[in-house]
Copies of this chain bind each other. A is one copy, B any other.
């Protein structure tokens, strides 16, 4: 029995549990589109720009712990999706990134859309393969396996002739994946970690990645309490399960001077599915990392296949199995604020009104400094951040999260300048009737850059600096922008109106946007 390569690819993806495809196809992908059309089990979600497609695939992966497929059109389509693949790579989100290309034999003609797809994909991919006629099912199974095993972007290039050529209808068997390494660590490691924790030195546990789910965080928190270590989270995280009833913990600070001061006493840093902290940017005369000189860094992932299993073993060895953590956040509502709307008032209303089990996608940047502290005792929720600094992820991320978790309310906290990067995502919110409330922090400038310009000692910004850093002329009208893409929206400029509008937006289902003039 035979089929064609495109059908074989779809069947393999479905057999591997990949049943959502975020797409923006082109001519070279038409056989793949036709094949997807024959598979109603696959949910196809269109993004009107590829940055929406890849950002949504990231959000989906963070909330479902499994990859979605993307469908991108040749090198330029891939290029448009790279910034959010960069964020996905930093979030360690598994994605099966499918990029259509010309038929193999057409490349020699250097047709207008021809470009070096492998070259473009390499910086953001952990795995790249060009599918071949006859092996497309194996290629697809390998891509899914690589995405899961590496927790990364597996880019599978699909030449048009591979899609339309005959292929065996039999599906390739699954590859072994990271699941097979669950629970593995060397017995010596937990003892070594306990020795360090009890050495009398100042130890900090730095948690990131999958350590930030509620259950491993409780183990880590108990170890902290039992040994006097500090507990810190990475500065930018893929997904934190937090809020009332869960472990409360602070993050590494963004400002390098503040972070240096905060960490100055640390002698030993134990990384739990985390990377050693670094300065987001370099500044003249300032250090590249906030760690004090001579700090010993132990990365559990270097010596354990499953660092979370090692953490669980450490808790057991310390006799903590049946204890509860004492660092669990209570349920407390921030005080209600009145008067002019500002970022603190927005954060306060969020802390009060956040529905149980909500998902926060936070790309509020400078306007978002109060959100994390003001939601620490809110109803339990998931908190997703921009991980790679490539702005324009908030609204796409929210789309993917909403598709992965359709019964949960998603709150997208979006800075205005960054929001414009992938503003097309609002259309997908409307198209798929996703249960997302988007809050635009409309400060009408690249506020972070105004701060940085001040830091370089340039004095008051002149005409050219303002031309590049201000978004006020003309002001963006987010109510119109959202309406133009089918998302209902309102603008508010007082704390009371914002509170009431947020309560209203959360009371209904479906996409809604609040432009918060701050």
Contacts and interface: CB of A to CB of B under 8 A. Distances in A.
A388 B111 CA distance: 8
A278 B36 CA distance: 29
Interface in A79-120: 79-80, 82-83, 86, 90, 102-103, 105-106, 108-113, 115-116, 119-120
Interface in A404-429: 417, 420-421, 423-424, 427
A458 interface: yes
A449 interface: yes
Contacts of A40: 462-464
B80 A27 contact: no
A175 interface: no
Contact of A113 (B71, B389, B455, B480): B389
A485 interface: yes
Interface residues of A, number: 106
Counting chain B CB atoms within 10 Å of each CB, the highest count among A105, A110, A279, A485 belongs to A485
Nearest to A122: B119
Contact of A111 (B279, B467, B474): B279
Given A36-B464, A79-B82, A106 B44 contact: no
Contacts of A279: 106, 109, 111
A238 interface: no
Contacts of A74: 389
B468 A486 contact: no
A219 interface: no
* Copies of this subunit: 2
B164 A465 contact: no
B468 A25 contact: yes
B278 A449 contact: no
B49 A421 contact: yes
A466 B79 CA distance: 25
A120 B449 contact: no
A146 B423 CA distance: 35
A30 interface: yes
B83 A468 contact: no
A463 B24 CA distance: 15
A48 B463 CA distance: 18
A93 B6 CA distance: 37
B37 A105 contact: no
Interface string A283-301: 0100011000000000000
Given A76-B83, A161-B282, A464-B36, A456 B31 contact: yes
Given A27-B448, A76-B86, A467-B46, A115 B124 contact: yes
A282 B102 CA distance: 7
Contact of A79 (B46, B86, B420, B467): B86
A233 interface: no
A288 B109 contact: yes
- The listed residue with most B CB atoms (<10 A of its CB), out of A23, A115, A471, is A115
B76 A79 contact: no
Q: Indicate the member of A23, A112, A485 with the most B CB atoms within 10 Å.
A: A112
B122 A123 contact: no
8 contacts: A23-B468, A25-B469, A27-B448, A44-B467, A48-B420, A79-B124, A80-B421, A82-B120
Interface of A: 23-28, 30-31, 33-34, 36-40, 42, 44-46, 48-49, 51, 71, 74-77, 79-80, 82-83, 86, 90, 102-103, 105-106, 108-113, 115-116, 119-120, 122-124, 160-161, 164, 236, 275, 278-282, 284, 288-289, 387-392, 417, 420-421, 423-424, 427, 430-431, 448-449, 452-453, 455-456, 458, 461-465, 467-469, 471, 473-481, 483-486
10 A-B pairs with the lowest CB-CB distances in the bound complex, closest first: A474-B486, A76-B390, A480-B484, A481-B484, A106-B282, A79-B82, A34-B458, A103-B282, A109-B278, A76-B83
